Amino acid sequence: MMDAHFGKRLRQVRVARGLTLDALAAAMGGIVTKQAIGKYEKGKALPSALVLNRLAVTLGIKSAALWREPAVQIEFVAYRKRSKLALREREAIESAVGIHLEERVALEDLLGASNDYTVPVQALAANTLEVAEQAAEELRREWDLGLDPIASVVDELEDHHCHVIELDTPDEFDGISAIARGKDGAVVAGAVVSRRGLPGDRQRLNVCHELGRLILKVPEEADAEKLAFRFGAAFLAPAATLRREIGAKRAWLDLGELLLLKRTFGISLQALLYRLRDLAIISEAHYQRWCVRISQQGWRKVEPAPLLPEQPRWLERNVRRAVAEGLLTAVDGRRLLGDQISEDAPLSLVERRAFLGLPLEDRRRLLAEQAAQYAAEATAADWEDLETGDFLDE
């Protein structure tokens, strides 16, 4: 074996990009065959400098990154039992998540934020639904969230250094969670992964479900999915708050009230009704009547009054910060974000050095002003989308 690590890394990046050997060879302009790429991945041959450079450009990665051993080890929490993903699809998702999480850990190191991770990984023991409910309440207390509805779940997770990663995946993919361990085995990062393009209510519960999978320590004999769902629902809609809003017992809830509750708690009608039944606020018969109506109306797949999805901001915010401080080039920033970073971030080495030479307070003030300006521009763009209807699903 000439270089097993290079081959393993090459395959990981190729699979993460959703490319077959044939597709990669074609994208490289045919300068190398798929058989040759297969040999590289198996460690039986090494590419020439020309081929290596073309591989890196085609895959959107630095050539040095194909040789470098990852600084972290990625571990995944098991897929949901009902997942129908094919093995190849799972491999593509795991490869993509692994690369994303490695890049984020490297960015944290670059910015000196690598010791900020505080999410308790599989630290809250749970073997019953009641314990899962208590775990959600406990995490809310630890994060000082109180009992009010959460305006943005994604913001809360990212504020507590839990990465939220969105991928373009098959419809069969619900979500997965992952952790990154350093060379000493300590957890240095955690992530929850969701499918891009979901309505906001489904996205929020998926993210909270995966958060539950990330932090709950579940014995083998317990149903991890039910426990994670209970955790997620309780995290979004605390029992005390629900009872305060609608009462401890209800004989009937009409659609208008349910839609108001959906918007208040950011949770789907189906999950909300399930939650109300779990808490014995509504009866089993009441719940079943609503299930029949939801099926008849075709709301199992598309509910009325869909919520806009929440947007992860951590990566863009920190990439732009790193570029602004001269820690990343604009080219590397574009590669990480997959879109344009304007060249008006420091234009020259002289300007970068001048910026870095400022007192820390002045640097922070300038960065804060730049961030505020960018946020204002983003908000204006969001309003424009709302006015034109560009946010609507096709």
Angstrom CA distances, 71 to 74, 105, 190, stand at 10, 9, 15
pLDDT in tens, 193-241: 999 999 999 999 999 999 999 999 998 888 999 999 999 999 999 999 9
Q: What is the pLDDT of residue 161?
A: 87
Q: What is the pLDDT of residue 382?
A: 40
Q: What is the pLDDT of residue 156?
A: 95
pTM of the model: 0.79
Highest mean pLDDT among 244-248, 334-338, 364-368: 244-248
Q: Going from the N-terminus, what domains does the chain have, and what CATH number goes with each?
A: 1-69 (1.10.260.40), 124-296 (no CATH), 314-388 (no CATH)
Judged by DSSP in three states, 125 sits in strand
Q: How far apart are CA 218 and CA 227, in angstroms?
A: 8
pLDDT in tens, 121-140: 888 888 899 999 999 999 99
pLDDT greater than 80 at residue 358: no
Q: How far apart are CA 95 and CA 9, in angstroms?
A: 10
pLDDT in tens, 74-111: 999 876 666 678 888 999 999 999 999 999 999 999 99
Q: What is the pLDDT of residue 280?
A: 96
pLDDT greater than 60 at residue 342: no
Q: What is the pLDDT of residue 122?
A: 82
Q: How confident is the model at residue 119 (pLDDT cuts 50, 70, 90)?
A: confident
pLDDT greater than 50 at residue 391: no
Q: How far apart are CA 49 and CA 36, in angstroms?
A: 14
> In which region does residue 175 sit, left (phi positive, over 0), alpha (psi from -120 to 50) or beta (all else)?
left
Is the Cβ–Cβ distance between 128 and 177 less than 8 Å? no
